[in-house]
Amino acid sequence: MSRWIIGARPPLHVALELAGAGHHEAAASDSYAGGPDEWLNLTTADPAQRRPSSIVRIQAPDLAAAQQQTARIKAAAAGEGYDSSAVIVLVDVEVMIAHDAPTARRELARLDCRLTAPSVPASLRYVGTPAGLAGLISDIHAVHVADGVTLQPLVNSEVLGHIAFRTLPWLESSGAPLSAQQVAVVRRRALRARTGRGADHRQPA
């Protein structure tokens, strides 16, 4: 896998895209009606940056394809005379996480069984645990796959709380420059999603 090393390295960027009750086609059939569609940049702006960053979102079937797209975008920016470090490439990652990986797989199967055929990921998809997701995000940045990710919860009532209360704290403890204000917004949305789904779902530890 090729690497791009052009200009200064941007810090890890994390964003979250909310869509109704979730990005899975069957999520709308859950009892929780969901909230407004919203894209949230969870990363704190770098005060040392001379000009605002341009964010480019990509979709890719695997990590190698994402890295190739990132390299092309960075090279094109440099070729046009721009600072490639000011072009932030975020790869979409569909997310289904739970307290343990088998539960996450069962929840995805529960959603897929409502469709005539299993859902096909539009981009990268992670099914596992909150800590595993945090590790994937860190690896995507560390090995130059992309500058960061846009997380797309497949079903908010199942996933958003784990992202808000487990994955994001892990990333913060590892040095990711996350915005406390935006993280608080995500946590409020997570609590609303959990309450809307019902009291039978456990609060993330």
Residue 7 lies in a domain: no
Enumerate residue ranges in the chain where pLDDT < 70: 1-8, 29-36, 46-52, 196-205
Q: Does residue 20 contact residue 98 with C-beta atoms inside 8 Å?
A: no
Instruction: Determine the pLDDT at residue 51.
Output: 56
Residue 184 lies in a domain: yes
Q: Given the structure tokens 């040392």, which residue do they identify?
A: 48
Number of domains in the chain: 1
Q: Torsions phi, psi of 191, nearest 5?
A: -65, -40
Instruction: Determine the pLDDT at residue 2.
Output: 42
Residue 171: give the domain boundaries.
Answer: 13-195
- 68: domain CATH number is 3.20.20.30
pTM over 0.75: yes
**CA–CA–CA angle 101, 196, 117 (5° rounding):** 50
